[in-house]
Amino acid sequence: MTEAALKPLGLPKAELEQLFATLGEKPFRARQLMRWLYGRNVLDPVAMTDLSTALRERLAEQADFSLPTIHAHEASADGTRKWRLAAGGGQLIETVFIPEVARGTLCVSSQVGCALDCAFCATGQQGFNRNLGVAEIIGQVLVARRELGLDAEGRSPVTNIVFMGMGEPLANFRPVVQACRVLLDDFGFGLSRRRVTVSTSGIVPQLRRLARETNVALAVSLHAPDDTLRDRLVPINRRYPIAELLDACWEYVELTNTWTVTFEYVLLAGVNDSPGHADALVGLLGGRPAKVNLIPFNPFPGTRFQRSSPEVVDAFRRRLLGAGLRAITRRTRGDDIAAACGQLAGQVENRVLVPLGQKPGQPRCDA
């Protein structure tokens, strides 16, 4: 490979066509390459037999199709699988596959660490090092598909992609949007817009921008029904409070013709799980295109929070349902290998420890 390596992996079709134009090739070569990469899981240009011999040789010499290296792999008793992938400089990111009866969900990371410092999340406690490139994001999907193989009908078990791994996706906007385009493209992974979900803690300007760039499913990490509590749990709320965040959510629904926004709500014992909190949540979301995903807290080393009891979780959900708000309780998966929601930590070096939305010198947020 030459020093000026071509980097086609993860590029959306339009950008890949531009890359081929600089090589003096026709635009349809981009579509051919995408079929090999994403439709057939072939990364060796020599095996791409419908490309010209000269183009295959050039790609073999100059293009970088390398995938993230697997540092470790763990399998949960419930079938969940987690890969720790090298991200350079001794750093590791984590990618999780969750098999279910009717679908298989791959949870991908968008950053090495996270700068949002959410008090109940292991990733946020790691600090932040850097954004992942689009090739590193799409590379996680390709690694998982390679490792999982095909099912009995010759299809990949990965049917859904969620940007819910390490990092805040909207703080790494362009690579995440590029990856979404490849995931949705018929010449890419060909996924339905309803099978790709971007989750955000609420960077409002980027959320408004997202509505103009893509129309994937949206999930919002809410976790509190009022600004006083959310300021403590999700520091970005100090910059973009709940009312402003919800305005952006409803705008997203309108501009993208989305059916609903999923609001994620981690239940923390004695912190945000009272009947009053449930009623306040109904006041925020009632009558709106909203669904609440209740998540029992998943503990990690050093946390001071505790999981709400099953009885409290059930009572909270029934209170939402009784008020006409759609609500489900997410079943905990992969917690025996620290792969459950909020447990991904990876390995983050040379960390930036000033959280996004917090000024230098302010204490780290905690409840």
Q: In this structure, what CATH number is given to the domain that contains residue 289? A: 3.20.20.70
DSSP 269-331: TTTS-SHHHHHHHHHHHTTSSEEEEEEE----TT----BPPHHHHHHHHHHHHHTT-EEEEPP
Counted domains in the chain: 2
User: SS3 for 211?
Assistant: helix
User: Same structural domain for residues 19 and 93?
Assistant: no
Give me the catalytic one of 114, 121, 180, 341: 341
Asked, for residue 124, whether it belongs to a domain, the answer is yes
Question: Any catalytic annotation for residue 118?
Answer: no
Asked, for residue 93, whether it belongs to a domain, the answer is yes
Tens of pLDDT along 50-93?
999 999 999 999 999 999 999 999 999 999 999 999 988 888 89
Residue with structure tokens 């489900």? 328
Tens of pLDDT along 269-283?
999 999 999 999 999
User: Same structural domain for residues 74 and 58?
Assistant: no
User: Same structural domain for residues 55 and 181?
Assistant: no
Q: What tokens does 56 get?
A: 């295959």
Question: Any catalytic annotation for residue 121?
Answer: no
User: Same structural domain for residues 89 and 45?
Assistant: no
User: Same structural domain for residues 47 and 136?
Assistant: no
Average pLDDT for 168-196: 96
User: SS3 for 52?
Assistant: coil
Asked, for residue 216, whether it belongs to a domain, the answer is yes
Asked, for residue 274, whether it belongs to a domain, the answer is yes
Which pLDDT value is given to residue 149? 92
Give me the catalytic one of 25, 94, 168, 264: 94
The 10 Å Cβ neighbour count of residue 250 is 13
Model pTM?
0.91
User: Same structural domain for residues 196 and 121?
Assistant: yes
Asked, for residue 355, whether it belongs to a domain, the answer is no
Of 145-154, 250-259, 349-358, the least confident: 349-358
Residues recorded for the chain: 367
User: Same structural domain for residues 17 and 111?
Assistant: no
User: Same structural domain for residues 35 and 85?
Assistant: no
User: Same structural domain for residues 117 and 233?
Assistant: yes
Last residue of a domain, one of 44, 62, 80: 62
User: Same structural domain for residues 50 and 138?
Assistant: no
Tens of pLDDT along 313-355?
999 999 999 999 999 998 877 777 766 566 556 676 655 544 5
User: Same structural domain for residues 240 and 296?
Assistant: yes
Asked, for residue 312, whether it belongs to a domain, the answer is yes
User: SS3 for 160?
Assistant: strand
Q: Which domain holds residue 17?
A: 13-62
Asked, for residue 354, whether it belongs to a domain, the answer is no
Residue 18 pLDDT greater than 70, yes or no? yes
